[in-house]
């Protein structure tokens, strides 16, 4: 009646307009998340354990941290830890508790096998900043093939992948990944079933995304979806910003996370109303055109009054031709 408890960390940052995640890659293997076992006799809390081993594995100190989800299902919904076992082999069942961490500095001491990876490497269909991504276009016909002409599946792919005029919902990252898994399209699906059915012929990683160890891509999808949702009702984006930033840099960071382009002035007007940032009078000279004013996050408002996140006034130009 006992189980092993694992902790997985999704540590995210924004770097050059791309959302990146801290990954660990053993030579010759798929990428994975920083992962460690929880020691019930030694660790007082999950969070402390997490901070400890993330620092050990990546020499990186976590800042903002929150619990995501606990993955414990057997079979195709959440396979065993990647020890090469079949799902039927229940010798060493691992329950894994996923955590999300945010940090402003992706540029950091790389230790051993840890790297920052662009999340689009794993979810190429999640970036709509330059209109409908190539991956979605390429996935449309395999998805329709899987769905067939009947409502239940068809409605689902329409809703999740913005087909037939459905609007794109950036938060449903996990549901999209799970659908691709269910459709047997992502490599993990066939891998977890022990090399069984190949429903579709293989598509390149540039469309399906790169596979990860164990159920780490599922955990990553959970994290991205949660972060995208949370931006709107908590000012978490500032956990990913340097202490001083320009409004454009802030907007580009939000865009990188959300994967959509925002309307500049409406973004600023909404931001102004929240009173979350404060101009510093000084300007950033390195922007290319006119120097931009520097701002800082007024962290002090957090304790003082109810704060919501940022509104996301979408730009509907080339960004949507569904």
Partner DNA sequence: TCAAAAGTGTTATCCTTACACCCATGT
Partner DNA sequence: ACATGGGTGTAAGGATAACACTTTTGA
Q: Give the interface with DNA as residue ranges (CB under 7 A).
A: 246-249, 263-266, 268-270, 273, 283, 285, 287-293, 311, 313-316
Nearer CB in complex with a copy of itself: 116/125: 125
Nearer CB in complex with DNA: 69/295: 295
Instruction: Choose which of 15, 18, 25, 37 interacts with a copy of itself (CB under 8 A).
Output: 37
Nearer CB in complex with a copy of itself: 256/260: 260
- The one of a copy of itself, DNA, none whose footprint includes residue 77, by CB under 5 to 8 A per kind, is a copy of itself
End-to-end CA distance of the chain: 50
Determine, following the binding rule CB under 8 A, whether residue 72 of this chain makes contact with a copy of itself.
Answer: yes
Greatest alpha-carbon span in the chain: 65
Determine, following the binding rule CB under 8 A, whether residue 305 of this chain makes contact with a copy of itself.
Answer: yes
Give the Cα separation of 100 and 11 in Å (integer): 6
Determine, following the binding rule CB under 8 A, whether residue 273 of this chain makes contact with a copy of itself.
Answer: no
Instruction: Choose which of 56, 59, 67, 206 interacts with a copy of itself (CB under 8 A).
Output: 67
Quote the tokens at residue 142.
């395999």
Instruction: Choose which of 16, 56, 75, 244 interacts with a copy of itself (CB under 8 A).
Output: 75
Q: Are 182 and 45 in contact (CB under 8 A)?
A: no
Instruction: Choose which of 152, 281, 288, 289 interacts with a copy of itself (CB under 8 A).
Output: 152
Determine, following the binding rule CB under 8 A, whether residue 164 of this chain makes contact with a copy of itself.
Answer: no
- The one of DNA, a copy of itself, none whose footprint includes residue 64, by CB under 5 to 8 A per kind, is none
The angle formed by the CA atoms of residues 252, 256 and 260, to the nearest 5 degrees, is: 90
3-state secondary structure 281-316: EEEECCCCCCCEEEEEECCCHHHHCCCCCCCCCECC
Phi/psi of residue 20, nearest 5 degrees: -120, 160
Q: Tokens 């990683």 identify what position?
A: 205
Residue 301 C-beta: closest distance to a copy of itself, Å: 10
- Choose the stretch contacting a copy of itself; rule: CB under 8 A; options: 12-20, 43-51, 198-206, 288-296: 43-51
Determine, following the binding rule CB under 8 A, whether residue 194 of this chain makes contact with a copy of itself.
Answer: no
Nearer CB in complex with DNA: 40/291: 291
In sequence order, the 6+-apart residues with CB closer than 8 A to the CB of 172 are 160, 225
72: helix, strand or coil: coil
270: helix, strand or coil: helix
Quote the tokens at residue 303.
């304790």
- Choose the stretch contacting a copy of itself; rule: CB under 8 A; options: 1-9, 10-18, 111-119, 259-267: 1-9
Q: Are 293 and 279 in contact (CB under 8 A)?
A: yes
Give the Cα separation of 163 and 136 in Å (integer): 9
In sequence order, the 6+-apart residues with CB closer than 8 A to the CB of 177 are 123, 186, 217, 218, 221
- The one of DNA, a copy of itself, none whose footprint includes residue 266, by CB under 5 to 8 A per kind, is DNA
Residue 260 C-beta: closest distance to DNA, Å: 12
Binding footprint of a copy of itself on the chain (CB under 8 A): 1-5, 37-41, 44-47, 67, 69-70, 72-75, 77, 90, 93, 95, 97, 151-152, 155-156, 159, 166-167, 169, 303-306
């Amino acid at each position: 009646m006992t189980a092993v408890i694992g902790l997985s960390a999704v540590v995210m940052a924004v770097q050059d307009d791309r959302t990146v995640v801290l990954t660990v890659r053993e030579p010759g293997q798929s990428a994975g998340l920083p992962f460690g076992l929880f020691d019930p006799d030694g660790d007082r809390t999950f969070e402390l354990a997490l901070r400890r081993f993330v620092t050990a594995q990546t020499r990186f100190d976590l800042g903002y941290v929150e619990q995501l989800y606990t993955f414990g299902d057997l079979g195709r919904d959440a396979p065993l830890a990647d020890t090469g076992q079949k799902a039927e082999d229940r010798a060493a069942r691992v329950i894994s508790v996923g955590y999300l961490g945010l940090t402003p500095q992706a540029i950091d001491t790389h230790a051993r096998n840890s790297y920052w990876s662009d999340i689009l490497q794993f979810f190429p269909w999640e970036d709509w900043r330059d209109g409908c991504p190539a991956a979605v276009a390429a996935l449309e016909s395999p998805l329709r093939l899987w769905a067939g002409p009947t409502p239940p599946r068809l409605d689902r792919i329409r809703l999740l992948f913005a087909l037939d005029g459905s609007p794109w919902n950036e938060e449903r990252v996990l549901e999209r990944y799970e659908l691709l898994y269910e459709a047997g399209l992502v490599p993990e699906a066939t891998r977890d079933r022990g090399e069984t059915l190949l429903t579709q012929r293989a598509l390149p990683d540039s469309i399906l995304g790169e596979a990860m160890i164990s159920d780490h891509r599922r955990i990553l999808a959970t994290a991205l979806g949660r972060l995208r949702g949370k931006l709107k009702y908590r000012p978490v984006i500032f956990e990913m910003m340097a202490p001083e930033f320009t409004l454009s840099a802030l907007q580009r960071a939000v865009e990188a996370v959300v994967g959509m382009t925002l309307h500049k002035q409406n973004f600023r007007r909404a931001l102004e109303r929240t009173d979350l940032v404060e101009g510093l009078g000084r300007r950033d000279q390195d922007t290319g055109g006119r120097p931009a004013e520097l701002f800082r996050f007024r962290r002090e408002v957090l304790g003082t009054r109810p704060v919501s996140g940022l509104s996301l006034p979408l730009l509907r130009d080339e960004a949507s031709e569904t």
